Structure 1
Amino acid sequence: MYIDLYNASISQDADTVQQFFYKQLPLLNSSLPITINAGLRLQGFEAGAPRSPLLPLSEDGMVELKALKQPAGSQS
């Protein structure tokens, strides 16, 4: 999804950019530092545990984050 978001940004396709932005917004609203930490781990970077009082991203959140990484239209 993020490559699609980048491509839409480069081509100045505001409608598509907005669509991708709002698709990820609920996850980002849950806690941006937690989401970034989980995203780094998904990319293979060990970011450690979030600082207290934050907790790691939930399993449901991880599933959602993994789905956001998939290209648009991908089924896996």
Structure 2
Amino acid sequence: MKKKVLKENILRGYTKIEYIQKRVIDYIMVIFLTLFLSPVMLYSIYRIKKESSGPIFFKQLRVGLNGKKF
């Protein structure tokens, strides 16, 4: 049985144009998702604050090496 050899290097890097296109698409997605998910996050913050007397974000003191708190 004869083995097939890949003719194209699939591990090549991006060309300059491909890199710019990728960055633009990444930024567009970040802006879109931020605008889309902001109301969801604000509603979640509101509900947590309404139902709980504690802080919105959990924080905890932990003990590390030699009893040092962080």
Is TM > 0.5 for Structure 1 vs Structure 2? no
Q: Which has the higher contact order (CA 8 A, sep 6+)?
A: 1
TM value normalised by structure 1:
0.26
**Highest Rg: 1 or 2?**
2
